[in-house]
Structure 1
Amino acid sequence: MAPVFSHGDLRLYLLNLLDEEPRHGYDLMQALSDRTGGTYTPSAGTVYPRLAKLEEEGLVTKAVDGRKTVYRITDAGRAEVAARSGELEGIESHLADSVRLIADEVRGSVRAAMKSLRADLAAATQEERRTGGSAGAPAGASRYDDARVISREAAQRADAAVNGFRAQVRAELRGHVARGGELAASVVDELGRALDEVSRTISRDLRR
C-alpha cells in the first residue's frame, strides 16, 4: 500500500489540524489516526520534529499548559493553509481512498474468515455424525473431541475477524464525521442490512 502521506503533506496537514483548534501533541497524533480510519498512527518521533519546524518558521506557537504543551497556529500559518487549500483537498481525497482500501481489505478478510468458519463447522458436524457423538468406543470419543477443538478454533478466528471488522468500520465512520463529512441514514441502513444478511447466513449454516 502506498504511504498515507506523501512528502510534505504531513506538515501541511498538521498545520490544517491546528487551524481548526489548538492541540497538544498526543491530540494531533490521535486526530491523524482518527481521520485516516486507523490506517496511519504516527509516532511522537514523527510529529514533534515537524511541529518544531513549524514553530521555527513562525507558523505555530507553543505554550505549556500544566503537563501538556499546546500548539496554536499563527496568522502566518493560517495564511499558508488558506493559500494551499487546493493541496489540502487533494490530501483529504487521498486519505479517503486509503480508508476505503483498508475497508475493502477488511471486508475481504471477513468473507474469507466466514468461508473458513463454514467449512470447519461443516467438517466438525460431519465428523460428529459419523462417530455418533461422544457415545460409543473411546476412538469415537476421541474423534468427537477433535471435532470440538476444530470448532473452538474456528469460533476464535471468527471472533477475531468480527472484532477487526467492527474496529475498522468504527474508525472509518468516526474519521469521516471528524473531517466534517455527512453520514447519510442510507449508509447506516445499508450497513445494517449487510450485517443482518451475514447473521442470517451464519444461522442457516449452523442449523445444517
Structure 2
Amino acid sequence: MTPPVFAHGSLRLYLLALLDEQPRHGYELIQALSDRFGGTYSPSAGTIYPRLSKLEEEGLVSKSTDGRKTVYEITAAGRAELDARRPELDAIENEVTDSVRRLADGVRAEVNDAMRSLRAELASAAREAKRSARTTSASRADTTGADGGAGSDSNRAVHEADLVINEFRQQLRTDLRTQAHRGRVSPESVTLLKARLAQVRADVLATLADR
C-alpha cells in the first residue's frame, strides 16, 4: 500500500482516529501508521506535522508539552468530526486490513515454497546417499555381510528432517497470522525469512557434500 491510499482529507481523519485511541506525540503517530500498514507505509515528519498543525488550527486537536515532546490530543470537536465521518473511516480501516492480509498471504506463500524446495533437496540427497550406500555395500558384501544399512539411516534422517520442517512451518504460520493481525508483518520480514531459509538450505547441503 502506498500513500495515495489516503484520498483528500483521509489522512487527517486517520490521525484523528489514532488520537481518539490515546494522546500521542508526532513520532508515535508515524510509528502507529507504519504498524497499521504492516510497514508498507511510513509517512515522514513533513507529512504528519503540517496536518497536525492544521487540525490544531481547526480546533480538532490540542497539544501540550511533556518534557521535550509535544503531545497531541483529540478535542470534543475532533470526536464530533470523527463520528460524522465514521463510514469513511471504516472504509479506510477495511483497506488497511486487506493490505495486511495480502502481505501475510505473500509471506506464507514464500515460506511454503522455501519449505517445499528444502524438502525436495533433502529427499534428493537422501536418494543419492542411498544409492551410494548400496554401491558401497555391494562392493564390500563379502566382508561386511550388510546391505542398505546406511541408506536406512539416511531415510530415517530425512523423515526426522521432514517432521522438523513441518513443525517449523506450522509454528511460523501461526506466528505470522498473529503478527499480521496486529499489522506487524512487513516486506523486510519476508526478505529476512528468504535470506535465512536460503542460508539454512546452503548449510545443510554443505554438510551433505562433505560426506
Q: How does the TM-score come out when normalised to structure 2?
A: 0.59
Number of the residue aligned with 2:5: 5
Q: What is the deviation of 1:165?
A: 5.5
Q: What is the deviation of 1:18?
A: 0.9
Note closer, same or farther for the CA distance 1:32–1:168 as it changes in structure 2 (3 Å cut).
farther
Q: Distance in 1 between matches of 2:44 and 2:172?
A: 22
Q: Secondary structure at the match of 2:73?
A: strand
Q: Distance in 1 between matches of 2:34 and 2:174?
A: 16
> Once the two structures are superposed, what CA deviation does each residue of 1:113-159 show, in whole Å capped at 9, x if it has no partner?
11111122223333444455xx9xxxxxxxxxxxxxxxxxxxxxx8x
Number of the residue aligned with 2:179: 171
Q: Distance in 2 between matches of 1:44 and 1:123?
A: 53
Please say if 1:69 is aligned against 2:81: no
In the alignment, is the contact (CA less than 8 A) between 1:39 and 1:102 conserved in 2? no
Q: What is the deviation of 1:4?
A: 7.5
Please say if 1:105 is aligned against 2:106: yes
Q: Distance in 1 between matches of 2:48 and 2:26?
A: 7
Note closer, same or farther for the CA distance 1:48–1:126 as it changes in structure 2 (3 Å cut).
farther
Matches within 5 A, 1:22-171: 22-132=23-133, 168-171=176-179
Q: Distance in 2 between matches of 1:70 and 1:29?
A: 13
RMSD, matched Cα: 3.4
Q: What is the deviation of 1:174?
A: 2.7
Q: Distance in 2 between matches of 1:3 and 1:98?
A: 13
Q: Distance in 2 between matches of 1:42 and 1:126?
A: 52
In the alignment, is the contact (CA less than 8 A) between 2:100 and 2:183 conserved in 1? no
Q: What is the deviation of 1:81?
A: 0.6
Note closer, same or farther for the CA distance 1:164–1:44 as it changes in structure 2 (3 Å cut).
farther
In the alignment, is the contact (CA less than 8 A) between 1:36 and 1:98 conserved in 2? yes
Note closer, same or farther for the CA distance 1:169–1:46 as it changes in structure 2 (3 Å cut).
farther
Q: Secondary structure at the match of 1:58?
A: coil
Q: Which amino acid aligns with 1:67?
A: R
In the alignment, is the contact (CA less than 8 A) between 2:24 and 2:73 conserved in 1? yes
Number of the residue aligned with 2:154: none
In the alignment, is the contact (CA less than 8 A) between 2:23 and 2:72 conserved in 1? yes
Q: How does the TM-score come out when normalised to structure 1?
A: 0.60
Larger Rg: 2
In the alignment, is the contact (CA less than 8 A) between 1:39 and 1:99 conserved in 2? no
Q: What is the deviation of 1:94?
A: 1.3
Q: What is the deviation of 1:170?
A: 3.5
Note closer, same or farther for the CA distance 1:171–1:29 as it changes in structure 2 (3 Å cut).
farther
Gap runs ≥5 in structure 1? 136-157, 177-208
Q: What is the deviation of 1:3?
A: 5.4
